[in-house]
Every structure is written in C-alpha cells, then in structure tokens.
Amino acid sequence: MHQRSTEELTAATGENLKKVEGRQLNPNQQEMVNQIKQFMEQSKTAVAAGDLERGHNLALKAHLLSDELVKP
C-alpha cells in the first residue's frame, strides 16, 4: 500500500518541481526546492532500507511543500 502511493507522491512532486524549473525563485522558494529535494532523497533512502512508512511520510512532506511552491 505505502510503496505505490509513495511512488505516486514522488512522481507528482517531480512534476511540480518541473513546473518551477527555469522560473525566477526568491530565496524562500529556493530554500523550499532544496528542502523538497532533501525529503525526496531521504524518502528514497528509507524505502531502500525497507522503512516504507518513513519513506512514505517523507515523500508526503516533499509533495505538500511542492504543492505550496506551485500555487499561483
């Protein structure tokens, strides 16, 4: 259950990051991008280590932040 939704969250987060690529970001937004990438990396590491719940939670955090980033 967690693995599939974790992958979907990661894909959706990646799409959101693509939307802001090439955009002029203010320092706050740039910090959000860095945080999102960090969460995604930590999520991947957790899933690889077999901690699917932690991986899912980190992917969810990354996704929520990325949603905030692409809001008009």
Residue-wise pLDDT for 3-44, tens only, equals 679 999 999 999 999 999 989 999 999 999 999 999 999 999
| Strand ranges inside 1-72, DSSP E | none
One-letter amino acid of 22: G
Residue-wise pLDDT for 33-54, tens only, equals 999 999 999 999 999 999 999 9
Amino acid 72: pLDDT: 79
Can you tell me the distance from the alpha carbon of 6 to that of 61, in angstroms, rounded to the nearest whole number?
11
